[in-house]
Amino acid sequence: MGLILSEDQLILRDMAKSFCDEKSPVERMRTLRDTRDAVGFSRELWKEMGELGWIGILFPEAVGGAEMGYGELGVVLAECGRVLAPEPFISTVLLGGNAVLLGGSEPLRKDLLPGVCSGDRILALAFQERGRFAPYAVETAATRDGSGYRIRGEKQFVLDGHVADQIVTVARTAGSAGDRDGLTLFVIDADAPGVSALRTEMVDGRNAARITFDNAVVDAARVLGEVDGGADILDPVFDRATIGLCSEMLGSFEEAFERTLEYLKTREQFGVKIGTFQGLRHRAAQMFGELEFARSVVYDAQSSIDDGREDVAECASGAKARCSDVANLIGGEAVQMHGGIGMTDEEEIGLFFKRLKAAEFTLGDAIYHRNRYASLRGY
Amino acid sequence: MASIEAFKLEVRSWIEEVLPADLRVGNRKDLPKESLGNWIQALAKRGWITPDWPTEYGGGGLDRKHTAALRAEIKAVRAPTVSSFGTSMLGPTLLEFGTEEQKLEFLPPISRHEVKWCQGYSEPGAGSDLASLQTRAVLEGDEYVINGQKIWTTGADKADWIFCLVRTDPKASKHDGISFILFPMHQPGVEVSPLKLIDGSADFSQVFFDGARAKAKDVIGPVNGGWTVAKRLLQHERSTDGGSEGGLSGAQKETLVDIVKREVGLQDGMLADPAIRQRLAAQELEAKALSLTMRRAGEEARAGQTARDIGSLGKYRWANMIKSEQDIAMTALGTQGLGWDGPGFEDTQLERTRAWLTTRADSIWGGTNEVQLNVIAKRVLKIPE
């Protein structure tokens, strides 16, 4: 793709938009949150998305996918972002699914990916061990034991970890925390002995879990990529997942901005529409500018993968650095411009604000990604 | 006309013959005067200062392809190029609107780089709203008598002649009473007062006319029909701006990354100051996002998709981007970026100080930042006022 949506992508967008508007208004996400739904998303809706071919967009036809690209997936993710749909694209497709796709043996791919594409199988990627994103800061240990490995350690912020069927786990087989070398990726069944999940309630109403591995045993055939060389899989998985997350964020930016703009045009104070005040007009113009710049870098990042370019890592970090900042700006301004009503739980703008903050911290914030971009650029 | 390939060979051997080695450094302000003079004469002799003008007006008589080939060859050896208000703006306008007599009188000296021209357009009360200009010209016999004032006139203190917009019919509507007229600067009744700017430059002047005189035959285009001529000339001005690469000063242009790396230093491959590292990354990403956004707007327009008007956004973000680039360079240089003149500072440092000051204008000219945000709110976001 280029920097604009193709005819086919525009058609896909319209389909996704009407699907989301009809089946998943923001109110649905609120109900899942308020009822403390055990799954946290709708398995039925997820399977419908599977039937529509959306879950499998990235995956090869041989495993039930559509073999399309991030341009197409991005269109769907953006529409999900517009309605704050909590379905497990990030955990199952972008993180877990990509790890299996990029690092899995042929038997593993054939075993796991068809279920992913149909919406029957939920995957998670357990990587994070502390609050700030630091992909190589892994202490969870994997020690050789007969024909397999024993895993000990604890992971946090494992997206959809409480309902995942398999947890792709990043563990250390050599070196020490912070080293890029010595990481290994394992596919571990969630119901294996020694694996326990504690669901953690997050501010955005999405699902995450702490996962404890207490001498969980995994077979050597369930390793993704090379032993000690897991970072070679992990890096591109994070880049792709980051770009996908930015596509979702773009949709949330659009919706939050449009709602705020509408509010400026309708809300009256001092006998006039508040949008007539120059202070607010200028800030709305700034938000528009950030939204348009975010769109440019997200589309460019999507094409960097789809066109097989060499600058995917730079694009991923560039996009997430910007989207994280824009999340703060648009999320914060949206609440501020809604005034007191924006502080109420009843008004939906607050749900966007909270989701955008969670997305900002997921897979690294602006500071992390500017640092990484600087490293990639040689300074 | 010779084939392009043969022509290129001819140009190359001619360049070897006439271009001194000390000029092969690009367009710099400090070029050796004598060499530069010789080079300009050599160009003028072949009509190659204005290669695409007809030979009868002092040009080279070359078609577009040959002109482009000539310019490419000159650029390839980094020889200085010669361009002026005369060659890039007045000349093309005269070729289109001038009478045969006017062309024969004014074009050859321009093509020989002998007469310096300046542009009398803006007035204190006529900036963005140029057509409200008030400088008056009244016909007395075969001469116009001119009274009024121009401002932001580039190079007025060095110019021999001015092409000037004057009001010849104060009763007509504002676009219909304007004439485009030429007259000499060196005469009683013309007073030039250079405006010194914060960056120390004084390229702009105020020009006062108190009974200055112009010959009636030196009106270009119809009397009272000067607005059309004026607009056409502005198009030539814009196409010149668009085609220029900027960076007239400093032959070896350092990138911002080079400067920051050198001044701040690397530790373990990372800039020693993490805060400056963050700013530099943000700066590079902003420049990239701006260029992607302009490209995307072009693609949207070509694809016939509903493109939002992002002209104002582009100007606003561009100005901020350019200014912050200078700010970061200054931050990296620290007090070595505060030098004004003389010893104790490298030329590149002094240039940086001046560039930092010069670029403050970028968020002012062509619509201030505040005006751009107003335009976005009103025209793009359609928020009622």
For B337-353, write each residue's pLDDT tens digit. 999 998 999 988 999 99
- Statement: residue B373 has pLDDT above 70: yes
| Number of Cβ atoms within 10 Å of the Cβ of A144 | 11
Question: What is the C-alpha separation between A159 and A59, in angstroms, rounded?
Answer: 20
State the residue range of the domain holding B175: 117-243
Mean pLDDT of chain B: 91
Question: A271-310: per-residue pLDDT in tens?
Answer: 999 999 999 999 999 999 999 999 999 999 999 999 999 9
Is residue A153 domain-shared with residue A31, that is, in the same domain? Answer: no
Contact A278 B266 (CB under 8 A): no
- Would residue B385 count as lying in a domain? no
Same-domain check for residues B320 and B233: no
Per the structure, how many domains does chain A have? 3
Nearest to A379 among B271, B286, B376 (CB): B271
CA distance A254 to A334: 11
Which whole number is the average pLDDT over A351-363?
Answer: 98
Task: Indicate the burial class of A147 (C-beta count within 10 angstroms; 0-12, 13-18, 19 or more).
Answer: exposed
State the pLDDT at residue B240: 56
Bridge-based pairing state of the strands A195-201 and B178-184: unpaired
Dist CA B7 CA B51 (whole Å): 13
The SS3 call for residue B140 is strand
A102-112 residue pLDDT tens? 999 999 999 99
Q: Mind telling me how many Å the CA of A119 is from chain B's nearest CA? A: 34
Q: Judge whether A357 and A284 are in contact, CB under 8 Å.
A: no
Based on the fold, state whether residues A245 and A366 are members of the same structural domain: yes
Q: How many folded domains does chain B comprise?
A: 3
Of A205, A228, A251, the domain-final residue: A228
> What's the CATH number where A178 sits?
2.40.110.10
Query: Is B237 inside any structural domain?
Result: yes
CA dihedral B68, B70, B72, B73 (to 10 degrees): 160
List, as one string, the DSSP characters of A228-253: TBTHHHHHHHHHHHHHHHHHHHHHHH
pLDDT computed for residue B2 by the predictor: 79
Residue B157 is encoded by which pair of tokens?
A: 């203190």
Residue B94 lies in a domain: no
pLDDT tens string A29-65: 999 999 999 999 999 999 999 999 999 999 999 999 9
**Residue B146 token pair:** 């001119």
Q: What is the mean pLDDT of residues B94-103?
A: 97
Domain CATH code at residue B342: 1.20.140.10
The answer, for A282 touching chain B at a CB cutoff of 8 Å, is yes
Closest by CA to A330, choosing from A297, A294, A371, is A294
Across A146-150, B107-111, B363-367, least confident range: B363-367
Contact yes or no for B381 and A286 at CB 8 A: no
Say if the ipTM goes beyond 0.85. Answer: yes
Rounded to 10 deg, the angle between the B347-358 and B311-333 helix axes is: 140
The C-alpha atoms of residue B117 and residue B114 are separated, in whole angstroms, by 10
**pLDDT for residue B28 is more than 80:** no
B276 in contact with A at a CB cutoff of 8 Å? no
Residue B133 lies in a domain: yes
Q: What is the pLDDT of residue B249?
A: 36
Q: B296: which chain A residues are within 8 Å (Cβ-Cβ)?
A: 3-4, 295-296, 299
Give domain status of residue A204, yes or no.
yes
For the annotated catalytic residues of B, the residue numbers are 237
Whether A238 and A206 map to the same domain: the answer is no
Residues B126 and B238 in one domain: yes
Residue A236 and residue A367 in one domain: yes
My answer on whether A338 and A298 are in the same domain is yes
**Residues B9 and B36 occupy one common structural domain:** yes
Q: Among the listed ranges B238-242, B252-256, B260-264, which one has the minimum average pLDDT value?
A: B238-242
Confidence of residue B81 (pLDDT cuts 50, 70, 90): confident
Do B362 and B294 reside in the same domain of the chain? yes
The answer to whether residue B248 is domain-embedded is no
Kindly state whether residue B92 falls inside one of the protein's structural domains. no
Q: Among partner residues B274, B289, B385, which is closest to A276 by beta-carbon distance?
A: B385
Which residue from A2, A321, A371 is facing B285, i.e. has the nearest CB? A321
Q: Per-residue pLDDT for B307 more than 80?
A: no
Does residue A295 belong to the interface with chain B, where contact is any CB pair within 8 Å? Answer: yes
Residue B244 has pLDDT above 60, yes or no: no
Decide if pLDDT at B157 tops 70.
Answer: yes
- Please report which confidence band the pLDDT of residue B334 belongs to, taking 50, 70 and 90 as the band edges: very high
Domain that holds residue A49: 7-120
Residue B242: per-residue pLDDT = 39
